Structure 1
Amino acid sequence: MRMLTQTGRSRLLVLGFGDGSLARELAAPGVLPPGAEFTVCDADPDRVRAVLDTDPNGQPCLPDWADPDGRRHLLVDASPHALFLLLALSGYGTDTAVIMQNPTAHQSPGPSSNALRDLRRLLASARRQPIPEKPAPAPPVLAAILHPQEPALDEFFAQTPAWARQWVVTWDAPEIPEEAARLADAHSCALIRHIARPLNGDFAAQRNACLDAVDGGHVLFLDGDERLDAASWALIPRLAAMDIAGWHLPRRTLYPDADHCKVGYGLWPDMQLRLLRVDPGVRFERPVHERAAGLTGPTAIAPAVSIIHLSRLLKSPELLSAKLAVFDRAGSGVRHRLAKEYPTLSCSLLDDIAASWHDAVLVLGSDHA
């Protein structure tokens, strides 16, 4: 409380839930300064569930001190990136909040304590920066690596924005698939450069084939089961005007319907580094779950530009299992499996929290690039 008073800040972030006693004390009348709020944050859902009461169905209940619509919050997720983005979108940072470890939460070494440590570093490294109104002189090239049998190719290319100057598409085929290429050309308002290259279990090589066809500037990668909404498309040329080497775009996997997305345990924000400045030496590495390397300069998160991932809505379980089998063969022993169910959240809640970020981004420190 002294720290809140001395700094004049209105937010307190407590790292670690412990037995819940500290949160109850903070929520007592007259403890917090007028107008102040606090969030208790933890990265071990199982440990927090063990402390909380449960309803008749065995589901955890929010503690009586928590007020999701007010100034007292409990935030729990195993993913430090999910914790970081939710807190940052809600205005928590080292310049706006007092961040303290809960002295009653004894953090033993392990994934949850590491996650809270990473969360603190992320909050310390990020800074809010406005998005310029003027777009880049040359808009980004759009790029995709596609299979000729990708569902809804017409819808994928129909989303092409009016500002787009070119698509570069690398097809998983020995020759350019005439029917798929014709469908793409018919639905895109931008010219498409078609490249044929069998996948051979190497997704990074497919993306690098696209990069080789881009003559400088910026490139935006999308997969065939991904979409951007109109507001996100409008922001892309403005992001390219900033001195940023790469952009992490949060991805929402819609499930089980178009109004909900997977969340928790790293299922969101599922950061995708997809908007890149094509500097010399920028290449993708790793055959599967590929990553961009060779970036020269800072990276940033564009919270208002969400990639909408339609894989669970467009593809049958059989098609998804076949795709995961391709990942297995390319992934050096890593096994990929579909779960029978996933935790989900209403997309409207994420829309609401991102609404104030259509004019700003989060620039990350070099140690989190």
Structure 2
Amino acid sequence: MRTSAALSFAFCGLMAAALLACSREGPSAPASARPAPRAPSDPQAIAAASGTSAAAPPPSAGAGPAGAIEYEDVEDDLRAGAADAGAQEVPPQLVDRWELKEVRYKNGRASFVPQHYRGFRLRANGRFDWSDGCNHKSTSARVSGSNLSLDPGATSTMVGCSFVVEDVHYQQATHYKVEDRTLYLHTPSQIYVLERFPYSKLSLHAWSLHSIKDRQSGKLLKLDRFRREYHHFLLRVEEDTRFQFTDLDREEFTGSLRVEGGEIRGMAYDQASKDRLRARPEQSGYLPDTTRDYKPTKKKYPTTYAQRLDWEAVTSFKVLEGTMKTGSEEHETEILELHSDKQIYRFIPR
């Protein structure tokens, strides 16, 4: 038995050697016909072959969104197209957007430059809109000669402020004076110095992100239901050249852009903001949907969105007159839309 096994093993060895010899004697395939060797795709395998340690792959150089946006089939509570109807109640020289530059006191107290009040808009039909930096307000104006008064029954959003509201009281206005591009609005104790707004409507307000709309499907991701204060999801554009975005966790990111008419060029985060985004976890946690107006859901949403907003894809903007539905009521509002090929980011004034 041992002899037979040995002979069998030897025979197999001779056959293997003969086959190997035949393969070496045959014609070799040209280099162009041979498949190229496949490089290992696993960094760990590459490191093992070269005898080095594997390093983590570098972060992407792009600044696009890190995660897909999950849209929903929900009712849209923003409607564009509110008419600026009504008779001409205000002299044409007053119809404009006015930026508040200084607050003066008539008793000699030192004047101050407001940090939160951004001025007001006065329309031809007498509608007077302004913000105190926390809530957006609206009332009607009456003008007779140089006298100007506001209806005390203003409508207002009801958002809790995290700062002390400044000492500005437009509703106490009594008269005004216009000199070139400057408006002096008087109350019994103060003078508000305002100038005609020199930039685009994009720079007029601080804008709060309301929703993201998918251009193809028309579906929305509504973000206003997660916000507890208007400091969240806040976009500020300064003088049509710089912007700042405050995420839901209040981390701020800055960048630059160029506004040319209704077009936006080169909107992108600064390098320092890009670096912070790369180092930041894609999700720092999740936030449950707890809004009363929505059906109960177990779905949870990421608490950070700065990585998902693709500013670099934005090419144009529009500021529209519209309405926003809150419960069973609707109120007029401006709507800022930032447009890209795939999405529309929609904001309302803070």
The structure with the largest alpha-carbon Rg is 2
Q: TM-score, normalised by structure 1?
A: 0.22
Higher strand share: 2
Q: TM-score, normalised by structure 2?
A: 0.22
